[in-house]
Amino acid sequence: MFRSFYPTWCADSAYGIDYARYYREGYRGLIYDIDNTLVPHGAPATKEAQVLFARLHDMGFRTCLISNNQEPRVAPFARRVQSDFVCDAHKPSRKNYIRAMELMGTGRENTLFIGDQLFTDIYGANRAGIPSILTKPIHPKEEIQIVFKRYLERIVLYFYQRKCRKEAGREKSG
């Protein structure tokens, strides 16, 4: 019932992901949400974000930011981290996830999505056929509509974590 909202993997932070591992596995494109994935909601690109993106580009990754925000929010952030971007993306619509891959010259088989929300970020990536990494939100301060969604996310995450525990149990006994 909730599987369309399940991420492929989870991480505490976009900054703690083992990107070298994903590069070795053949991934070449990384699509990111911005707010509460890379920086607190509404914040500009930080030095930490700039360093991360420089490191990713040095490794050989292409990057693209995808946001439901408008260009005045997204474009300056993208410039500071030197990334492609898609604004006003209407996530979870799959159209602009596909557009992001086109901008990067990647496909479903070698692109990852990283974001903090199940019902927009992860659901959209799943609809587009892209593996996803769910991160914990960076900051607790969020817009009211997101606060309401977080309550519903807890229910989905409960079932996701239960599924992961069952699968881990099968691997140990198998």
Note the pLDDT tens digit of each residue in 95-104. 999 999 999 9
Residue 162 binned pLDDT confidence (cut-offs 50, 70, 90): confident
Residues 3-173: name the CATH superfamily: HAD superfamily/HAD-like (3.40.50.1000)
Note the pLDDT tens digit of each residue in 42-52. 999 999 999 99
Whole-number percent of the chain with pLDDT over 90: 73
Judged by average pLDDT, the poorest of 96-110, 126-140, 150-164 is 150-164
What DSSP line would sit under the chain, residue for residue? --GGG--SEEES-GGG--HHHHHHTT--EEEE--BTTTBSTTPPPPHHHHHHHHHHHHHT-EEEEE-SS-HHHHHHHHHHHT-EEE-S--TT-SHHHHHHHHHHT--GGGEEEEES-IIIIIHHHHHHT--EEEE--S-S---HHHHHHHHHHHHHHHHHHHHHHHHHHHHHH-
Note the pLDDT tens digit of each residue in 61-74. 999 999 999 999 99
